[in-house]
Amino acid sequence: QEYDLVIRGGTVVTAADTVLADVGIVGEKIVAVALDLPRGAEEIDATGLLVMPGGIDSHVHLAQPSFGGPKMADGFETGTRSALAGGNTTVMPFALQPRGASLRESVMAYHKEADGQALCDYAFHMIVTNADSTVLEQELPALIADGYTSLKIFMTYEDMVLNDREILGVLDSARRHNALVMVHCEGYDAIRYMTERLELEGKTAPYYHGVSRPQSVEREATHRAISHAELAGARMMIVHVSGREPMEQIRWAQQRGIPILAETCTQYVSLEADDLAGLNMDESGGKYVCSPPPREKADWEAIWEGIRTGVFQTFSSDHCPFFYEGEDGKKNAKARTSFKWVPNGIPGVAVRMPILFSEGVRKGRITVNEFVALTSTNHARIYGLYPRKGSIAPGFDADIVLWDADREVTITQDLMQHGADYTPYEGMEVTGWPVMTMLRGRVAMRDDKVLASRGNGGFISRTEE
């Protein structure tokens, strides 16, 4: 038999087109996309379903310690299980360099967490917190040469913030060695000022997390990052853009020919500032604390405008899961005393594709081809996984999601299959749901049951970029 597996009768969707076709697979690879392929050793009936490239979520956090704070709710096993449940086949978590530590050793520590544990494929971005000359001239170039071709830096957080000279140093090294710098754009000093002021006024409920970092704080940092990219001549990706003001800064830069890439995330078209509101510390506002914080409904429209007009190339989850009650049901006591102690991040790797499909494709804001570009193809192209990942065509890995465009689902904690003890998207209704996820030719999720096991996911090297 010519094919190990034929996915028959579905509608194959790529970033470029939509065609009725069968997909022929041999081993881990797609070898044919055409009508009426001969029978395979195995057959999957995809009649009435969309056949799309498996999701690539290029912004997730797994097994990442928060300094002195609570433990992350997902390691690589549960985090990648949740990814598969949501139609993804590749995730890109961050390897955080603790201040003062070796960048190389930090990357190796994440390999130790991931290798043999992951259920779907993965590649790492580095987080550079220490921009000294050893890091910039030796460790970073060597790691870039080894295929770790993207890294993130922060403009806020005590334990991660870089000053402007350090940012320029990182950008300069990245330019010389051809890496992509992802930037968290929020101004550290402005947030500190606002936090102190709110504390003096006794405003410490979760709601004030959002008040402590309004859009002006993100807008200022976004503009500053763009200016630094222009000055250093470096490639830059502005991550997790939350609303109109930073979006407009990026559009302004792109219109001037400054090559800035940008990402937005699920929460910026589906959660809002009022979700954080709570009259006292026991209320559930803490479930929505992430940075940048969710904005207003009017900002959702600005984000859609940016998605439609190409300001944003990628749509990610920024899955960054923490326990709400705490692992033992009471550990997060400190977080109930002030928003400042609530770890910044929410889980969402399993809902990224369903929410974008439902709010975007089903509501006529984007085409299904744009959906594929925003959830898979552009991530692969930008981060060097293409042409192994990110499309359905001969030669690509058989990473495929079968999608029921009409299925109506109410999002619940049970469906997430993550490690966190809640989902901020609880009760949200979506139309369109992944019914099967295939990882390199093997069924990894079917009908909400994850069938892959630890070690089925592998590290994707980006050396042949």
Residue in 14, 129, 270, 344 binding ligand DUC, rule: CB under 6 A:
344
Phi, psi of 445 (to 5 degrees): -150, 135
Span from 140-148, 222-230, 261-269, 293-301 in contact with Zn ion (CB under 5 A): 140-148
Query: What character string, x for contact with ligand DUC (CB under 6 A) and - otherwise, covers 181-200?
Result: ---x----------------
The site partner of 223 among Zn ion, ligand DUC, none (C-beta below 5 to 8 Å per kind) is none
The least distance separating Zn ion from the CB of residue 80, rounded to whole angstroms, comes to 16
The least distance separating ligand DUC from the CB of residue 240, rounded to whole angstroms, comes to 5
Site for ligand DUC in 73-92 (CB under 6 A): none
Rule CB under 6 A: say whether 209 interacts with ligand DUC: no
Residue 227, Cβ density class (10 Å: 0-12 exposed, 13-18 middle, ≥19 buried): middle
CA 162 – CA 180 distance, rounded (Å): 17
The least distance separating ligand DUC from the CB of residue 339, rounded to whole angstroms, comes to 14
The least distance separating ligand DUC from the CB of residue 61, rounded to whole angstroms, comes to 6
* 272 close to 292: Cβ distance less than 8 angstroms: no
CA 304 – CA 273 distance, rounded (Å): 17
Residue 39, Cβ density class (10 Å: 0-12 exposed, 13-18 middle, ≥19 buried): exposed
The site partner of 344 among ligand DUC, Zn ion, none (C-beta below 5 to 8 Å per kind) is ligand DUC
Do β-strands 442-446 and 429-439 pair in parallel, antiparallel, or remain unpaired?
antiparallel
Residue in 77, 318, 359, 397 binding ligand DUC, rule: CB under 6 A:
318
Q: Does residue 203 come out as left (phi exceeding 0), alpha (psi in the -120 to 50 range) or beta?
A: beta
Residue type for position 36: D
CA dist list (Å): 463 to 175, 425, 450, 459: 17, 37, 30, 12
Rule CB under 6 A: say whether 240 interacts with ligand DUC: yes
| Number of residues engaging Zn ion in binding (CB under 5 A) | 3
Place of tokens 């998207």: 425
Of 82 and 344, nearer to ligand DUC (C-beta) is 344
What's the distance, CA 353 to chain centroid? 11
Residue in 345, 354, 360, 457 binding ligand DUC, rule: CB under 6 A:
345
Site for Zn ion in 167-196 (CB under 5 A): 184
Reported as type and span, the H/E element at residue 457 is none
The residue sitting closest to Zn ion, measured at its beta carbon, is 184
Residue 364, Cβ density class (10 Å: 0-12 exposed, 13-18 middle, ≥19 buried): exposed
Residue in 141, 278, 326, 458 binding Zn ion, rule: CB under 5 A:
141
Cis before 292 (ω within 30): yes
Of 140 and 402, nearer to Zn ion (C-beta) is 140
Of 237 and 401, nearer to Zn ion (C-beta) is 237
The site partner of 15 among Zn ion, ligand DUC, none (C-beta below 5 to 8 Å per kind) is none
Of 9 and 93, nearer to ligand DUC (C-beta) is 93
Of 291 and 358, nearer to ligand DUC (C-beta) is 291
Rule CB under 6 A: say whether 291 interacts with ligand DUC: yes
Structure tokens at 297: 């409904």
Of 188 and 396, nearer to ligand DUC (C-beta) is 188
Rule CB under 6 A: say whether 64 interacts with ligand DUC: no
Phi, psi of 102 (to 5 degrees): -70, 135
Residue 328, Cβ density class (10 Å: 0-12 exposed, 13-18 middle, ≥19 buried): exposed
Query: What character string, x for contact with Zn ion (CB under 5 A) and - otherwise, covers 298-337?
Result: --------------------x-------------------
| Number of residues engaging ligand DUC in binding (CB under 6 A) | 9
The least distance separating ligand DUC from the CB of residue 187, rounded to whole angstroms, comes to 13
Q: Residue 262: which of 319, 311, 229 has the closest Cα?
A: 311
Site for Zn ion in 224-253 (CB under 5 A): none
The site partner of 141 among ligand DUC, Zn ion, none (C-beta below 5 to 8 Å per kind) is Zn ion
CA dist list (Å): 313 to 261, 292, 371, 406: 7, 18, 11, 26
The least distance separating ligand DUC from the CB of residue 335, rounded to whole angstroms, comes to 15
Of 320 and 436, nearer to ligand DUC (C-beta) is 320
Structure tokens at 291: 């940075």
The least distance separating ligand DUC from the CB of residue 319, rounded to whole angstroms, comes to 9
The least distance separating ligand DUC from the CB of residue 385, rounded to whole angstroms, comes to 20
Q: What is the dihedral of CA 284, 286, 291, 297, to 10 degrees?
A: 20
Q: How many helices (H) and strands (E) does the chain have?
A: 14, 18
- The Cβ of residue 333 has, within 10 Å, a number of other Cβ atoms equal to 10
Site residues (CB under 6 A) for ligand DUC?
61, 184, 240, 290-291, 318, 320, 344-345
